Chains A and B, each alone.
Chain A
């Protein structure tokens, strides 16, 4: 019985293709949980490929190709699924994250190779080369850990670990030193302590997304009917000409992507084809993709021409963005306004008036984007969970703390509560490379006056 593990097996660099490899007894079942396609992966013949979508919590991530290999005919000699998605750090990480939430564990450095070796898939020379590599990775990991010592992540983790250790130490002292005047541990106290830690842990795991926003950028779709100035806006934000800007409606026929450094973070902009009904075959493909992008985006900039009245297409867009993280951008404000301001302000939460062409009002847009992406409340010095391994530790800690809280609420005895608490402490100590039981015992002796 081998645990199912997952990792990104291509370099984490902007590239055409990224591959996530899942290996283990339930690799195929795990992959199926994040897969949407015509054919189920579990029904696929060995060594064949399928086209479909990787999904995370039912939200599509990307169009992907999945390759299914059955034991022993795979790299590791176990059942393996390789999911190839479009390259770039962001999408690849999302797919990995999805695989983990579906039950896979993050692979340790060299674990695929280790399994390959154990299953007789690698010869001795290759194995030795791999050992050198693992050794080097160990050093690299140690260096990385060291640099984190200075960082905010380390401080936050350290503080949370202390809180968890404290809870565990309270339980330990209370059970291991009866008759010694250790204050009794009330379920209410335990409960509130656990709740406090849990909310901090949740924050840490949320910061993973925020951190990603900082690192990977916000997926932003620019939508609007043709010729309202979407491309001009994009160019204004990007600072140079990228989209073809003409006065002829429908010149942007596909999705133009660009990353711009805006307001101190990265906006990954998709300048989409104008959303309108069209008979032009090529343009209609562009429109379809624009709609997809609109659905997937984290932030929507809906552009309207302020010098014209709202039409049917505009109203459709307004309906479309009703419950979205969206900003209505009223462009061409250098011209006389004909748009129904009262109507659009009533229908959409955030409205900005600007002139992309003249570069006026961009500052106001910046403000609102900050607010909407939660970046406003984001302290760049605050802790980010840096990588998948760390995120997994945090998740395990959350699971443990949650189980402990459940046990308290259910009225279980402390020994049962401590099972979850210990899992949480262990997961956290793994983050910092310490030994859980030593940490707890040290805390017990420094906090309580015990011993005969």
Chain B
């Protein structure tokens, strides 16, 4: 089994990976399987399940199943992109701050604290109101919320590594800081990153779904799980599946990401302690 997939040997890892694969498959392949176009009404609103519409219809009489099959792409893409962006910035800031012994550390970290002190949803609201609602604003906004959290974790992991002998040996060779960071430090904080990235993804998914639920992100008639929960909630007692369907998918995605993140972290962590146990 390749190194990268060894996490799946644990129960949590296997179940999580299975779930994640399922949800991602639904998001990617779903649109090809959808029986109806997601935007066209096929019956009366809030119809119960029938042979034509297995999950019933939504508040405009559109097929819920088709919309669930279409609605995963946006959540996964937006959350994934924003975490990628948050890591691109947070990793650089965290490494620089963690390795610096001078002013750089306090300057970077206090700036991160300022970002951290803003309430996440409020911050997104202000961004969307100011810049208009678009996918770019959403991704950048969620990334900015996550960036200081990433930076903090990377910084403390870097600090712990930077006093170790092999880092000092590199410093004594007179290696450039970028080499020390990339060659000596970064590979050794991979376990921390693996553990953190699952958490970040979960948080991003919830944020993106909440913003869409509040109607500040994607706009109708786009099919999106968060948006669907919001649109159909007034008909909850008439056609509960119109809300439960997309809500279940969001829940499954969050749980799966969490389980995989956990399993990867544990597997990486075990090998990290195996290394450290003899010291």
Q: Do A and B come from one complex?
A: no
Binding site for B on A (CB under 8 A): none
Binding site for A on B (CB under 8 A): none
